[in-house]
Structure 1
Amino acid sequence: MTRSVADIIAGLGTGIHIDGRWRQASSGSTFDVENPATGEVLATLADGGESDAVAAIDSAAAHQREWAATPARERSEILRRAYELLTERADEVAAVMTAEMGKPLAESRGEVAYGAEFFRWFAEEAVRIRGDARRSPDGKSRIIVTQEPVGPCILITPWNFPLAMVARKIGPAIAAGCTMVYKPASLTPLTSLYVTDLLREAGLPDGVLSVVCTSSAGSVVEPWIDSGKARKLSFTGSTDVGKSLLEQCARGVLRTSMELGGNAPFIVCEDADLDVAIEAVLAAKMRNMGEACTAANRILVHRSVIGDFAGRLTTRMSELTVGDGAVDGTDVGPLVNRAAVDKVDDLVRDAVSRGAEVLCGGERPEGRGWFYPPTVLTGVASDAEMVRTEIFGPVAALVPFDSDDEAVELANNTEFGLVSYVMTESADRGFSIAERLETGMVGFNTGLVSNPAAPFGGVKQSGLGREGGFSGIDEFLETKYVAMPVRNAT
Structure 2
Amino acid sequence: MTQNTSAVDRVKKQLFIGGEWRDAEGGKTLEVDNPATGGELARVADASVADGGAALTAAADAQAEWARTAPRERSEILRRAYELIVRDTDVFAELMTLEMGKPLAESRGEVVYGSEFFRWFAEEAVRISGRYSVAPNGATRLMTLKQPVGPTLMITPWNFPLAMGTRKIGPAVAAGCTMVVKPAAETPLTMLYLAQVMQEAGLPAGVLNVVTTSDSGGVMEPLIRDPRSRKLTFTGSTPVGRKLIEQSAQQVLRVSMELGGNAPFIVFDDADLDAAVEGAMLAKMRNIGEACTAANRFFVHADVAAEFSEKFAARMAALTVGDGMADGVNVGPLINAKAVDKVTALVTDATDRGARVVTGGAKGEGAGFFFNPTVITDLPGDADMAREEIFGPVAAIQTFTDEDEVIRRANETEYGLVGYFFTRDYARVLRVSEGLEYGMVGVNQGVVSNPAAPFGGVKASGFGREGGFEGIEEYLETKYVGLAL
Band the TM-score falls in, shorter-chain normalisation: over 0.9
CA distance in 2, matches of 1:340, 1:213: 22
The answer as to whether partners of 1:5 and 1:92 remain within 8 angstroms in 2 is: no
Q: Secondary structure at the match of 2:27?
A: coil
- Count of residues paired in the alignment: 483
Specify the code of the residue in structure 1 equivalent to 2:391: F
The answer as to whether partners of 2:149 and 2:231 remain within 8 angstroms in 1 is: yes
Shift of 1:6: 1.4
The answer as to whether partners of 1:5 and 1:96 remain within 8 angstroms in 2 is: no
CA distance in 1, matches of 2:225, 2:51: 14
**Unaligned 5+ residue runs, structure 1?**
none
Aligned to 1:474: 473
**Could you list the per-position Cα deviations for residues 414-437 of structure 1 after superposition, in whole angstroms to 9, with x for gaps in the alignment?**
000000001001111122111100
Aligned to 1:373: 372
Aligned to 2:402: 403
**Could you list the per-position Cα deviations for residues 328-363 of structure 1 after superposition, in whole angstroms to 9, with x for gaps in the alignment?**
110000000000000000000000000000000001
CA distance in 1, matches of 2:107, 2:375: 25
TM-score (norm 2): 0.99
CA distance in 2, matches of 1:346, 1:139: 68
CA distance in 2, matches of 1:332, 1:374: 8
CA distance in 2, matches of 1:39, 1:364: 15
Specify the code of the residue in structure 1 equivalent to 2:369: W
CA distance in 1, matches of 2:361, 2:377: 12
1:329 aligned onto 2:328: yes
**Unaligned 5+ residue runs, structure 2?**
none
Specify the code of the residue in structure 1 equivalent to 2:189: L
1:78 aligned onto 2:77: yes
Specify the code of the residue in structure 2 equivalent to 1:414: T
CA distance in 2, matches of 1:466, 1:366: 39
Aligned to 2:32: 33
Q: How many percent of aligned residue pairs carry the same amino acid?
A: 59
Aligned-pair Cα RMSD in Å: 0.9
Aligned to 2:316: 317
**Could you list the per-position Cα deviations for residues 10-32 of structure 1 after superposition, in whole angstroms to 9, with x for gaps in the alignment?**
23122411011111111322110
CA distance in 1, matches of 2:290, 2:173: 28
Aligned to 1:110: 109
Runs of 4+ with >3 A deviation: none
Aligned to 2:197: 198
CA distance in 1, matches of 2:14, 2:23: 8
CA distance in 2, matches of 1:421, 1:227: 40
**Could you list the per-position Cα deviations for residues 179-217 of structure 1 after superposition, in whole angstroms to 9, with x for gaps in the alignment?**
000100000110001100000001101110111100110
Shift of 1:89: 1.2
CA distance in 2, matches of 1:77, 1:444: 36
Aligned to 1:179: 178
CA distance in 2, matches of 1:413, 1:198: 44
The answer as to whether partners of 1:323 and 1:330 remain within 8 angstroms in 2 is: yes
CA distance in 2, matches of 1:63, 1:310: 56
CA distance in 1, matches of 2:7, 2:370: 26
Shift of 1:371: 0.1
Q: Secondary structure at the match of 2:5?
A: helix
Shift of 1:39: 1.8
Aligned to 2:241: 242
CA distance in 1, matches of 2:7, 2:390: 33
Give the alignment of 1:76-475 within 5 angstroms.
Answer: 76-475=75-474
Shift of 1:5: 6.9
Shift of 1:366: 4.1
TM-score (norm 1): 0.98
Shift of 1:141: 0.5
**Could you list the per-position Cα deviations for residues 64-87 of structure 1 after superposition, in whole angstroms to 9, with x for gaps in the alignment?**
000000000000000000111111
Q: Secondary structure at the match of 1:27?
A: helix
**Could you list the per-position Cα deviations for residues 288-343 of structure 1 after superposition, in whole angstroms to 9, with x for gaps in the alignment?**
11000000000000011100000001110000000000111100000000000000
